[in-house]
Amino acid sequence: MTPFDTEAPAVKMSGRELYAVTFAIILFGAAIIALTWIVGPSVAPIQLPAYVWFAIGFCVLGMLLIALQRILAPAPYGTRLPAGQAILGVLAGSILYAGAMHMLL
């Protein structure tokens, strides 16, 4: 018995499959939140201003589009932003949107 026999086996998954799974998980979460919002409007998860909900929606949409772009239009390595930087850009944009709308209102 080698020391490697006790480790969990690695899953053979391509980058495209990983992004497809990520896209499906985010889409499933958004559908569950939408159903909660439709079924129980008086029992909303948190009462927040509309611009905060819009910022959350933009953030979720941005995350979906990052994964969808990497599935549908793969590019050679090094010609696109790394996923971490793209996610930080989406988060920063959503926070800036919410902050700007808070100041405008």
Domain membership of residue 3 (yes or no) is no
The pTM is what? 0.60
User: Other C-beta atoms within 10 Å of 98: how many?
Assistant: 20
Domain membership of residue 65 (yes or no) is yes
Residue 33 sits in which domain range?
14-104
Domain membership of residue 93 (yes or no) is yes
Domain membership of residue 98 (yes or no) is yes
Angle made by CA atoms 69, 74, 79, in degrees to the nearest 5 = 100
Total structural domains within the chain = 1
Whether residue 10 has pLDDT greater than 80: no
- 23-48 CB burial, b ≥16 within 10 A, e <16: beebeeebeeeeeeeeeeeeeeeeee
pLDDT (tens digit per residue) in 20-74: 888 888 888 888 777 766 666 565 556 778 888 888 888 888 888 887 887 777 7
Domain membership of residue 39 (yes or no) is yes
Domain membership of residue 27 (yes or no) is yes
